[in-house]
Every structure is written in structure tokens, then in C-alpha cells.
Amino acid sequence: MSSETAAGARDAAPPRPRWQVLLIRPESMTFVLLVLGIFAGSLLSPFFLDISYILRSFTLYAEFAIVALVLTMVIIAGEIDLSPAANMALAACLFAWAQASGVPMPLAIGIGLAAGLVMGAINGFFVIALQLPSIIVTIGTLTLYRGLAQVIAGDKSIRVPEWFIGIDKQMVLGVPLPVLLFVLLAIALGIVLSSTVFGRQIYQIGTNEVAARHAGIRSARIKLLLFLFIGVVAAIAGMMTASRLGSVRYDLGLGGELQMVLMAMLGGTYIFGGRGTILGTFLAAWLLVIVSTGMIVANVLPAVQLVVLGGLLIVSIVATNFIYSRTQR
Amino acid sequence: MTLLASLLRRREAGIAVMIVLFCLAVGAVKPQFLSLDQLRIILLLTPLIMIAAMGQMMVIVARHVDLSIGSTLGFSAMVSGLLYRFVEGEPWWVGVPLSVAVGAVLGLVNGLLVQLFRLPAIIVTLGTLSLYRGLTFIISNAKQIDRQWIPSELKGLSQTSPILGIPWIIFIAFGVALLTHYFLNHTRIGRQVYAVGSNPVAAPLRGIDVTQVTLLVFTISGALAGLAGILYASRWGFVNPSNTGSGFEFQVIAAVVIGGVSINGGVGTVLGTVLGVLLLGCVAAALPLLGIPGTSQAAIYGAVILVALLIDRTVRRQGIAQLRRTG
């Protein structure tokens, strides 16, 4: 800023031009990376630009992506949940174990959903009623849920009935069902988060919980709802994974917490809460699929993919942090 | 209430009581649990966790957390393993400083990311957790370091004993604990770790270099994970890129949290952590004896973390209430 404008700037800084506002939003960074990723991928392989190929690849990540959408809301509210991947495994194990021991399918699905709800409630109880930090609590429950899944399933895999297999092969309007579910959930949550009172309250809690409470926002109730919601969605994702794989093992979705957090962070969700959008996570999920399948197409070792994903997580939080520290909304 | 009161005064006493009660309860069902032989088994279960727990404890006291230690352990062990495999005729002990140094570098990277970019340690180390694991695969070409490559003197550390039939690694672990105790209680920078953890905002006002302290605790945590790595090779005789150290962080965090180290920073003692490690060791040793399958171990660790969190919170609440009454 030049010196003659600095004198007048005492009252208020001039509003930034609209293009600048757009450019410094973290979602724009995600979008640019996505375009670059598609471009790089298409150089690697001619199959890459095939939309049905990308859609099919997306089914591999759709379960995590669906949970990541809800996780975005949890992080915006100033909390975090590292347990949904373990939650997916336990819910799927309970469901598969129930139906394998003769429980009718609808009831088995109900058991899986109820398990997700209970796990969300346990997280919520520790975080909200006991006021413990969610990161440590969910490290504990992550170990617990994964461990319980191992208790139930042992080291064996539990088969699910033939007709239950293949949700990822179900096509609706030419789009695999999990992808469609992801898109629909993204639209619904995007509207809730950006255009409803409830959604705005989530941002307020994340920005300043004490102030939000003084403003009459029931933060405890909203946070509990979010934990319950992510619990149920994780359970659904777990059963979707069971349907895609055809059998359930305790290590279902292992390491998924990294991918979920990565999708949220890469989409510009601020780790300290209060900022972020569903659109960002939506774009980041696609970016992650492009990067992962790009690496598979390029015959990159799975180990290198681990390195890339871990590195990507760190780069994305550094970048998001940088952007937010430079721009006060 | 008397039990709670004593917990309040000395948290360590409470953990010791818990260990005794647990052992007596298991001993009531299976008398052979209360034997010297069993003590040896328990002690042999603990040294790796104890060494890494010392570093993790410092990190948690400074109000951070290090999720990457399992991968750090695996990576440092792998570097030394590759050295043993591909370099002929180097002395066996070279792996020890090498692992420690490699671990220290990885820890320093965590510290730099956390401190320079002001990022939450949990997310940074979740990233480096997979980063380091991937690097372990890359440097090892996804191949295991087998038994024959590990020098027998190194393996001897966990088999031969200087005194009383207790293997070297147990002495090493307790040595590390003593050094940590000295460092935290009798050095200037050790006390500063507590100061930073109990109030990171006030610490710089008192002339404490928070950056220095943060980098130091992460480096130490990495270095100790590196030491645990080479001792892993000694104890188990192999290094595997995928499972060496995976899930280790949860055991260590469980031990530290049971040991009364507050997750809100600023509070925790070496003695408490040692007792936490021993309690975890007792639990691990009791499971097979009670006929509980090994597959339930992870669930029990998870439950133990949650119970420890509950106790931590209760103690903290009571402590605050007591402060209000007296002051």
C-alpha cells in the first residue's frame, strides 16, 4: 500500500477487488491443482480423460469422501474426529457378523447404523460432556473401535451375501451409485452449511465458541449432533465398503483417517476451526482421486503414494494456514 | 474417597495401587501370574515402550503430541538394518548412534513443521506418520531385513545380561528414564518444557525460547524412537517395512496418558510414565494367561486410554476445586 492511501486507511481498508477475493480463497488453489492434475494425468495416459474411468476410480475413494464431507463440518466447528475409519470397520464388522449369524438383513443394517450412532455418541460424550480435547479422545476411540472390530472378526474375513455385493457397480444415470451419493450429500451439506442458520452457527462455534454461547447458540447440542452425524455416516460408509469388497475384515478402511483429514485440509478447511467450505472438500476429493489414480496409471509404487499423500497433507495445511493468516475475513 | 484423596496428592501412588490391585486380581485367578518368571516376562514387554514414552511424555508436557514415532522407529531401524545388510564388517554398535541420529532428524522435521508454521502437531505428525512409513518402504525396496543380517551382538542386548539375569535392554530403558528425570527436573531447559506446556503464552514473557524448547522435545522424541528402533531389531531380530513400529504410537500414548501426564500440557513425571508403562506391560502379560486372544489387545489399549482420560479429568477437576478451597 502506498503512503498517500495509508493516511486514509485509518478508517477502513478499501474492499479487495472481487477477483482478488476469489483468487485468495483456498478452494481456488484446490481447483487450480485439480485442473493441473487432470492435465498431468492426461499426459500420462490417454485413458485418463475418459470420464467413466475417473468415475469408476472415484468409487474406490467415495466412502472416505462421503465421511470427509461431514468431517469438514466437524472441523469447522472447531473439533476433529480421527475415529471414523475405525468406526467404519467396527460398524461393518458388526453388520457382517450379525447377518452371518442369521439376523435378517434389514435388522443387520440397523445394527450397523446403531453402532455408528453409539460410537458417535461415545466421542460426543467424552468431548462435550467431559470437555476433553477431541484429538486425544478420538485417538483413544480410534484404537478402541479398531480393536473391537478385531475382537469381533478376529483375523478372518466375514463374507456378505452375493446380492449385497457391488454397490459400486450399480449405475444411476451412468454414474456409479457411491459417486452419486457423494455428489448429492455434498450439495445437501453445502446448502446446509452456507445458507441455513444451523450452518452459520457451526462457523460461529468454530470461530469463537465462548462468544457463540453468549450469543445464545447451543454449541454443545450442535457439536453432539455433528458427532452423531459423522458416526452414522461413517457406519453407512463402512457398509458401502463391505458391499464393494464383498467381505469384511477388521482392517477395513485402515489409514482412512489420513485420507479424510487430507480431503478436508486440501479443500482449505482451517484446522483451527471457523473456516472452510463443502465445495473445497468436494473439489479436494476429486483432486485426491486424480492424484491417486494418476500415480497408479504412472505405475508409482504404493509406498511412494504414502509419501505423496503425507507430504500433500503437510503442504496443504501449510498453504491454507498461510492464506488465512494473510487474509482476515 | 481416601483412594481419590491419595490420587490427588500423589498421582503416582494411585497408579502403583492400580498395578498392585490388577496383579492381585489376575493372581487370584491364575496364581502363576505372581511369580518371578512372570515379572521377567512383564519387564521384557516394556523397554521399547518405555524408551519411546519418555520422549512422547516430554512432547505432551510441552502441549504437543507426536503420532509419527511408530514410523520413526520403523525408518531408523530400517536404515540401520540396511547398513548391516549391505556394508560388510562394520562394528555392530554403529547401528545404535545411527538409528538415534536418524530418529533425531525425523523428530526435528516434525518440530520445525510444528513451530515454524504454527501448525497443530497432531495433523503434522499424522502426515509424517505416513510420510516416514512410505520412505521406509522406498529405502528398503519393500523388503524385510532378516534374522541373519542382524549382528548377534545386537541381538545379545536383549538376551544376555550384565546382572541378575535381567537383559541389557531393560537396563538401557531404565537408564533412559533416569536421564529423562534428571533432564526434566535438574536442568534449566528441562524446567522450561513444563513452563511452555503450562502456559505457552506466558513462557516467552519469562524469557523462554519456545521455539528452542519445541524443537528440542520433538528431536528428543524422534531420537528416542530411533533408539527404540534399533532395540526393536535387537529384541525381535528383524525389521519389516510394513509392521515394524506400526501402531506403536497408540501403545506409547496409552502408557503416557495412564502415567498421569496431562494432555493439557505442563503436568507429568517420569515416575508416573514408568508406572504407566509397567501397568500396560502387566495388562499385556495377563491377557494370554487369562486366555484372552491377542486380537483383543488393541481394544483394551483403546479402552485404557479412555479410562485414563476420565481419571485425568476427574483428578484435574478435584485439583482445581481444592485450589479454590485453599486459596
Which of A132, A143, A250 faces B313 most closely, judged by CB atoms? Answer: A132
pTM of the model: 0.83
pLDDT tens profile B260-287: 888 777 888 899 999 999 988 888 888 8
Mutation target vs B (from A144, A295, A318; most B CBs, 10 A cutoff): A144
Q: Are A310 and B129 an interchain contact pair (Cβ–Cβ within 8 Å)?
A: yes
Q: What is the pLDDT of residue B68?
A: 92
How far is residue B276 from each of residues A138, A261, B246, measured CA to CA in Å?
Answer: 20, 30, 20
SS3 content of chain B, % helix, strand, coil (to 5): 75, 0, 20
d(Cα A73, Cα A63) in Å, to the nearest integer? 17
Residue A9 has pLDDT above 60, yes or no: no
| Greater model confidence, A261 or A5 | A261
Residue B149 has what DSSP assignment? G
Dist. CA A67–CA A316, nearest whole Å: 19
Q: Which residues contact B73 (CB under 8 A, 6 or more apart)?
A: B48, B52, B103, B225, B226, B228, B229, B232, B244, B245, B248
Q: Between A87 and B266, whose confidence is greater?
A: A87
Taking contacts as CB-CB distances below 8 angstroms, the residues of chain B near A135 are 65, 120, 122
Residue A143 has its nearest CB partner, among B124, B137, B302, at B302
pLDDT in tens, A207-259: 888 888 888 888 889 999 999 999 999 999 999 998 888 888 888 888 888 88
pLDDT of residue A2: 45
Q: Which of A14-23, B251-260, B271-280 has the lowest mean pLDDT?
A: A14-23
* Average pLDDT for A96-119: 89
Residue among A142, A92, A107, A125 nearest A244 (CA): A92
Q: Are strands A175-176 and A171-172 parallel, antiparallel or unpaired?
A: antiparallel
Q: What are B66's three cell numbers? A: 507426536
B134–A303 C-beta distance less than 8 A: yes
B153 grid coordinates? 551382538
For residue B143, the chain A residue with the least C-alpha distance is A303
Residue B186 to chain A, least CA–CA distance (Å): 29
Name A186's Cβ contacts closer than 8 Å, sequence gap at least 6. Answer: A69, A278, A279, A281, A282
pLDDT band at B320 (very low <50, low <70, confident <90, very high): low
The winner for highest mean pLDDT among A121-125, A172-176, B35-39, B305-309 is: A121-125
From chain A, pick out residues whose CB is under 8 angstroms from the CB of B255. none
3 state DSSP class of B266: coil
- Using the beta-carbon criterion (under 8 Å), do B309 and A154 form an inter-chain contact? no
Report percent pLDDT > 90 for chain A: 22
Contacts of A82 in chain B (CB under 8 A): 122, 126
Indicate the pLDDT class of residue B234, thresholds 50, 70 and 90. confident
Q: How far from the centroid of its chain's Cα atoms is residue B166's Cα?
A: 20
- Based on DSSP, count helices (H) and strands (E) in chain B, helices before strands: 15, 0
ipTM for the predicted complex comes to 0.77
Task: Using an 8 Å CB-CB cutoff, list chain A residues near B134.
Answer: 303-310
pLDDT of B150 higher than 70? yes
d(C-alpha A223, C-alpha B4), whole Å? 31
The three-state secondary structure class of A254 is coil
Q: For helices A51-76 and A256-266, what crossing angle results, to 10°?
A: 80
- Pairing between β-strand A175-176 and β-strand A247-248 as defined by DSSP bridges: unpaired
d(CA B68, CA A66): 26
The C-alpha cell of B107 is what?
A: 523428530
What does the pLDDT read at residue A296? 78
Q: Which residue of A has its CA nearest to B110?
A: A314
Element (H, E) at A176: strand A175-176
Per-residue pLDDT band for A329 (boundaries 50, 70, 90) equals very low
Q: What is the pLDDT of residues B161-208, one digit of tens each?
A: 777 778 888 889 999 999 999 999 999 888 989 988 888 888 888 888
Q: Given an 8 Å threshold on Cβ–Cβ distance, is B302 in contact with A142?
A: yes
pLDDT recorded at residue B91: 83
Mean pLDDT of A13-26: 68
Give strand pairing partners of A171: A176
Of chain A, the percentage scoring pLDDT greater than 70 comes to 91
Q: Do B142 and A154 touch (CB under 8 A)?
A: no
Q: Are B122 and A135 an interchain contact pair (Cβ–Cβ within 8 Å)?
A: yes
- B163 CB-contact burial (10 Å; exposed 0-12 / middle 13-18 / buried 19+): exposed
Give the model confidence (pLDDT) of B39-78 as tens digits: 888 888 889 999 999 999 999 999 898 999 999 999 999 9
B264 contacts in A (CB within 8 Å)? 133
List of chain B residues whose C-beta atoms are within 8 Å of the C-beta of residue A271: 119-120, 123
Contact list in A for residue B117 (CB cut-off 8 A) is 317-318, 321-322
Q: Residue B146 and residue B233: Cα distance in Å, rounded?
A: 10
CB contact under 8 A, B306 and A140: yes
C-beta atoms of A139 and B118 within 8 A? no
CA–CA gap between residue B8 and residue B13 (Å, rounded): 9
Task: Kindly report, residue by residue over A266-298, the tens digit of the pLDDT.
Answer: 888 887 888 888 988 998 898 888 888 878 777
Instruction: Please work out, in degrees rounded to the nearest 5, the angle formed at the alpha carbon of residue B15 by the alpha carbons of B159 and B2.
Output: 155
- The pLDDT of residue B243: 81
